[in-house]
């Protein structure tokens, strides 16, 4: 008993001694977490270098764009072919992808040998051979009659310029084919395929095997965004943000980057970690000085590393009694499969003993223990280094997404990872330790790169089909110059109808006289009250105007909410509420006793008979109070004041907001004779010659006309450009059939048009995975301010997704690109239509004056104009294009509705006083 114990003790001691000896000998290969974190940081820096335009040429990690922008989303379908060149064998595949909601696919493959003379021969012959094999494959599978898209997996570094074009950079591994470098390998394959007249194959994609692996795994797990190969070679790819990829145009979305990380360290960046064995191995390789990282990791080299270590140890007398065998001196004698076998710890030392014996090394028990441990250190270092670089990629992904914690999946393929008994487990463990804030799932790619190439092709196929559908939907929003001219001409016609006595009653553009006949002359002064009703807010203002040398305008205002039940209640309630607000304001300003002149900005179509009389033609925008249409709004206000019986006001003028805007700007610039509002609603006023206004007596001078152009098109004259989305928005509005032009151009409706398009695209399966969420069903959820935010050039797609998230819309990266396009199409059309209308007005003014060129200023107000990132520019460009003889200056109005109302009141008061005298 005692003896057995002693023996066991003796053996343990012996084992420990051997392990210690090897550990000491190879301490340089045992990498601590600190070192690995350092490697990770170096790799991160190298990735940045590879992505930068100026730094890429000298970067060792080439970060090659793959032009793969999307992962499978499960809606792919069809039959695809793939060929796979680059591994140890050449393969042809036929993949059937079913759109059955279960993401199923079927794969049939055939292997073909790649004879050595071809791999080291001439390129044309190799591609002819590939084409021949494919023909054979199609014959066996009875596919010759079909026109099939093909994905080409080619696992050598290629500089891609498109998904279906890539120039071979430099041979790695054993690829020594002549006449292929710097040539587009897709065109080589196409040329070879064209020699076979009886098949019709369309090469759609060139795919690196890492990318193929990611796509294959991505089909089963939507989270997969990294592809990793650890086999004969090693490499990784991942989804990078386009805005970080300098070498490819465009900032939107993501693209898969093939890192080609095997070359990491080729500039000496890893020299402090490389051992004498690494150097020796490199010197004896086919490509000295190249692929230094790969040489520390991939299965092609690990066996050789072990051999070099054993040789040195033996020479130093640390193994095999110092006796070197011929086998041990022979390059390539120890292969990866030997290392894997020796590391099968469950089988004790038997494998090791057998392998060493075969090498004529006559190992002792101690030798076997030591050699097994050498293998472990070498393969563990491989897993460690691989983990460090992978951790760098994962960290980059997480930071790109601005997440504190990230869940993601890494798709993996490669013999070393798959067959080595410990490798996978070690790799997972180290990665999780290095990036504790990433929950990583490692997914083994089952059918490898061939299926991946088919998946890339399938995705490309799906995207092309989707693109067509989206383009078709948005094409309805593209207006040609010709169409815009037509809109301008129609607007001109409608303007004339509105001015003429016989057509005026039925005109859709009502051309309402405002009885504002002049712009301010600077002599206006005094204190005025102003009301502003008709926009998002109701406001009461006190305006102090000074004239002369101390000319200035001072304003105090207070905003009051108008609750929906009042906006859509009775007229009496609405006006009582307004008077209540005025009372609050007078109280607040301490001027309750003063009987101040008041200007009432009432931004709805009003038929006026004088400056202080206005009959409401009809509510627009969000208002719908009863018993108001056809009534005089000044009377209604006066009655409400009387009902309250608390104070009195001198109501001098009813003012449309467009007129207020024009007047405000006119106060600064006498050339301002047009007022434009692009806010909740859309409207324009301008100074018209009295002689053209048939419904108002007199032919002298000018009068401001409130066009109420929002009603343009209510007779169907622009129905040719209205889309089904416009019709849906109209039908869901408070005033169906009315204000058709306004509904295509103003803030109240643009978001709603976008929502209708999004619903339609979702129904077609082009967005949000075809799922119409509860929130997307809600009318008004998509406000126009979101268009401004989404279309902002400074906003990354991630932020677009965040906005959509707030709206309860769960979007992918592709979704957010499409949503942005939709917003752009809708707002651009709005600005162009508005510009066409404005061009008609400017042209009319030019003709009125009878001049060759017109200089004119437009006073503008409205949040859509002021805050949308592109609206104002497109509007200006359109006017310039459609009214080339007019030099139109745009002037932003500061608070037109308040200041303008006061100015109009002042002018009216002055004229009134003059009249009384």
Of all residues in the chain, what percent are helix, strand and coil, respectively (each to 5)? 50, 20, 30
Position 792 contacts ligand ADP (CB under 6 A): no
Report what 859 binds from Mg ion, ligand ADP, none; CB cut-off 5-8 Å by kind: none
d(CA 690, CA 513): 10
Min dist. Cβ of residue 706 to ligand ADP (A): 15
Binding residue (CB under 6 A) for ligand ADP from 290, 863, 880, 889: 863
Secondary structure of 639-697 as H, E, C letters: HHHHHHCCCCCEEEEEECHHHHHHHHHHHHCCCEEEEEEECCCEEEEEEEEHHHCCCCC
Comparing CB distances to Mg ion, the nearer of 84 and 657 is 657
Binding residue (CB under 6 A) for ligand ADP from 680, 706, 762, 905: 680
- Would residue 539 show up in a list of annotated catalytic residues for this protein? yes
Min dist. Cβ of residue 662 to ligand ADP (A): 15
Nearest residue to 893 via CA among 739, 685, 585, 708 = 685
Comparing CB distances to ligand ADP, the nearer of 265 and 710 is 710
Binding residue (CB under 6 A) for ligand ADP from 149, 212, 227, 535: 535
- Would residue 603 show up in a list of annotated catalytic residues for this protein? yes
Binding residue (CB under 5 A) for Mg ion from 411, 535, 675, 681: 535
Comparing CB distances to ligand ADP, the nearer of 40 and 655 is 655
Partners of 81 in the β-ladder? 94, 150
Q: Which of the following is catalytic: 282, 657, 730, 815?
A: 657
Position 784 contacts ligand ADP (CB under 6 A): yes
Min dist. Cβ of residue 677 to ligand ADP (A): 6
309 CB contacts (<8 Å, ≥6 apart)? 26, 277, 374, 378
382 CB contacts (<8 Å, ≥6 apart)? 230, 296, 297, 298, 302, 416, 423
- Encoded one letter per residue, x for contact with ligand ADP by CB under 6 A and - for no contact, window 480-519 reads ----------------------------------------
Size of the residue set binding Mg ion (CB under 5 A): 2
Q: Following DSSP, what letter does each residue of 221-278 receive, concatenated?
A: -TTEEEEEEESSSEEEEEEEEGGG-TTSS--SSEEEEE--GGGTTTTSTTTTT--HHH
Position 536 contacts ligand ADP (CB under 6 A): yes
Burial class (CB in 10 A: 0-12, 13-18, 19+), 717: middle
318: DSSP letter: S
Burial class (CB in 10 A: 0-12, 13-18, 19+), 142: exposed
Binding residue (CB under 6 A) for ligand ADP from 748, 753, 833, 908: 748
Q: Which stretch binds ligand ADP (CB under 6 A): 266-274, 480-488, 552-560, 859-867?
A: 859-867
d(CA 679, CA 656): 14
Q: Work out whether strand 165-168 and strand 886-892 pair parallel, antiparallel, or are unpaired.
A: unpaired
Comparing CB distances to Mg ion, the nearer of 164 and 657 is 657
Comparing CB distances to ligand ADP, the nearer of 608 and 827 is 827
Partners of 610 in the β-ladder? 613
d(CA 335, CA 344): 15
Burial class (CB in 10 A: 0-12, 13-18, 19+), 443: buried
Which residue of this chain has its Cβ atom nearest to Mg ion in the complex? 535
Position 829 contacts ligand ADP (CB under 6 A): no
Q: Which stretch binds Mg ion (CB under 5 A): 6-14, 221-229, 530-538, 542-550?
A: 530-538
Min dist. Cβ of residue 591 to Mg ion (A): 24
- List, in sequence order, the alpha helices (H) in 435-447: none
Position 864 contacts ligand ADP (CB under 6 A): yes
Q: Which stretch binds ligand ADP (CB under 6 A): 255-263, 480-488, 731-739, 863-871?
A: 863-871
Position 868 contacts ligand ADP (CB under 6 A): yes
Binding residue (CB under 6 A) for ligand ADP from 231, 414, 450, 679: 679
Burial class (CB in 10 A: 0-12, 13-18, 19+), 635: middle
Q: Which of the following is catalytic: 155, 298, 603, 872?
A: 603
Min dist. Cβ of residue 664 to ligand ADP (A): 14
Q: Which of the following is catalytic: 69, 307, 426, 539?
A: 539
Task: Kindly list the distances between the CA atom of residue 655 and the CA atoms of 143, 613, 614, 773, in Å, as whole numbers in the listed order.
Answer: 76, 10, 9, 43
Comparing CB distances to Mg ion, the nearer of 127 and 749 is 749
Report what 743 binds from ligand ADP, Mg ion, none; CB cut-off 5-8 Å by kind: none
Min dist. Cβ of residue 182 to ligand ADP (A): 50
Hey, which residues are catalytic here? 539, 603, 657
Q: Residue numbers of the site for ligand ADP (CB under 6 A)?
A: 535-536, 679-681, 747-748, 784-785, 788, 862-864, 867-868
Residues forming the site for Mg ion (CB under 5 A) = 535, 657
């Amino acid at each position: 008993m005692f003896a057995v114990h002693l023996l066991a003790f003796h053996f343990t001691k012996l084992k420990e001694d051997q392990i210690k000896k090897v550990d000491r000998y190879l301490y340089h290969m045992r990498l601590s977490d600190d070192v690995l974190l350092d490697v990770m940081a170096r790799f991160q820096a190298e990735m940045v270098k590879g992505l930068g335009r100026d730094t890429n040429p000298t970067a060792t990690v080439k970060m090659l764009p793959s032009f793969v922008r999307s992962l499978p989303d499960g809606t792919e379908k069809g039959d695809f072919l793939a060929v796979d060149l680059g591994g140890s064998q050449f393969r042809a595949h036929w993949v059937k992808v079913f759109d059955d909601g279960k993401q199923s696919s079927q794969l049939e493959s055939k292997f073909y040998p790649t004879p050595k003379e071809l791999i080291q021969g001439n390129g044309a012959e190799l591609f002819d051979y590939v084409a021949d094999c494919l023909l054979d494959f199609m014959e066996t599978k009875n596919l010759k009659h079909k026109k099939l898209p093909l994905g080409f997996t080619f696992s050598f570094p290629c500089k891609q310029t498109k998904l279906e074009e890539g120039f071979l950079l430099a041979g790695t591994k054993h690829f020594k084919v002549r006449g292929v470098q710097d040539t587009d390998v897709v065109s080589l394959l196409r040329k070879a395929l064209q020699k076979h007249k009886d098949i019709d194959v369309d090469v759609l994609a060139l795919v690196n095997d890492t990318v193929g692996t990611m796509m294959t795994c991505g089909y089963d797990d939507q989270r997969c965004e990294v592809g990793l190969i650890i086999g004969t070679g090693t490499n990784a790819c991942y989804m990078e943000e386009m805005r970080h990829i300098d070498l490819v145009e465009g900032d939107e979305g993501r693209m898969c980057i093939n890192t080609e990380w095997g070359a990491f360290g080729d500039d000496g960046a890893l020299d402090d970690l490389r051992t004498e064995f690494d150097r020796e191995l490199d010197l004896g390789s086919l490509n000295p000085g190249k692929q230094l990282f790969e040489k520390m990791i991939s299965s092609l080299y690990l066996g050789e590393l072990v051999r070099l270590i054993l040789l040195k140890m033996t020479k130093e007398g640390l193994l095999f009694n110092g006796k070197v065998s011929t086998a041990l001196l022979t390059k390539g004698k120890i292969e990866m499969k030997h290392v894997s076998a020796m590391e099968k710890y469950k089988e004790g030392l038997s494998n090791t003993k057998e392998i060493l014996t075969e090498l004529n090394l006559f190992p002792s028990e101690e030798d076997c223990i030591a050699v097994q441990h050498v293998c472990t250190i070498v393969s563990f270092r491989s897993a460690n280094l691989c983990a460090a670089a992978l951790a760098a990629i994962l960290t980059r992904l997480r930071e790109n997404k601005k997440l504190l914690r990230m869940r993601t999946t890494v798709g993996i393929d490669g013999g070393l990872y798959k067959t080595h008994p410990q490798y996978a487990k070690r790799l997972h463990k180290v990665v999780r330790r290095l990036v504790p804030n990433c929950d990583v799932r490692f997914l083994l790619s089952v059918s490898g790169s061939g299926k991946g190439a088919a998946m890339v092709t399938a995705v490309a196929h799906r995207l092309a089909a989707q693109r067509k559908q989206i383009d078709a939907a948005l094409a309805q929003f593209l207006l040609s110059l010709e169409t815009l001219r037509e809109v301008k001409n129609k607007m001109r016609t409608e303007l004339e109808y509105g001015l003429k006595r016989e057509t005026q009653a039925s005109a859709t553009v009502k051309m309402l006289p405002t009885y504002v006949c002049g712009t301010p002359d600077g002599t206006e002064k005094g204190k005025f009250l102003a009301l502003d009703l008709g926009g998002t807010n109701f406001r009461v203002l006190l305006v102090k105007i000074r004239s002369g040398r101390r000319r200035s305008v001072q304003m105090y205002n207070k905003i009051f909410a108008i609750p929906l039940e009042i906006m859509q209640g009775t007229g009496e309630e609405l006006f009582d509420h307004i008077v209540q607000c005025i009372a609050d304001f007078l109280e607040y300003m301490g001027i309750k006793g003063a009987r101040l002149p008041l200007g009432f900005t009432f931004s709805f179509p009003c038929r006026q008979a004088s400056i202080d009389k206005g009959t409401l033609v009809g509510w627009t925008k969000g208002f719908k109070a009863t018993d108001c249409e056809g009534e005089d709004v000044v009377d209604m206000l006066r009655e409400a004041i009387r009902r309250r019986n608390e104070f009195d006001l001198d109501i001098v003028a009813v003012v449309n907001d467009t007129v207020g805007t024009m007047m405000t700007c006119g106060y600064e610039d006498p050339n301002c004779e047009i007022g434009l509002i692009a806010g909740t609603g859309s409207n324009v006023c301008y100074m018209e010659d009295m002689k053209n206004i048939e419904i108002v007596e007199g032919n002298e001078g000018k009068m401001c006309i409130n066009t109420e152009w929002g009603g343009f098109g209510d007779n169907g004259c622009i129905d040719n450009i209205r889309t089904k989305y416009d019709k849906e928005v109209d039908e869901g509005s408070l005033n169906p059939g009315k204000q058709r032009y306004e509904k295509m151009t103003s803030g109240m409706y643009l978001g709603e048009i976008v929502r209708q398009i999004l619903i339609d695209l979702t129904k077609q399966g082009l967005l949000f995975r075809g799922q119409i969420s509860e929130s997307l069903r809600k009318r008004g959820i998509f406000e126009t301010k979101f268009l401004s935010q989404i279309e902002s050039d400074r906003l990354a797609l991630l932020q677009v997704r965040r906005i959509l998230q707030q709206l309860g819309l769960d979007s992918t990266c592709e979704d957010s690109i499409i949503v942005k396009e939709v917003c752009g199409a809708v707002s651009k059309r709005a600005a162009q239509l508005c510009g066409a209308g404005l061009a008609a007005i400017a042209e009319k003014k030019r003709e009125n004056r009878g001049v060759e060129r017109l200089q004119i200023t437009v006073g503008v107000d409205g949040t859509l104009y002021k805050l949308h990132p592109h609206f104002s520019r497109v509007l200006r460009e359109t006017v310039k294009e459609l009214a080339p003889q007019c030099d139109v200056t745009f002037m932003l109005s500061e608070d037109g509705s308040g200041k303008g109302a006061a100015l109009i009141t002042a002018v009216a008061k002055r004229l009134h006083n003059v009249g009384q005298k």
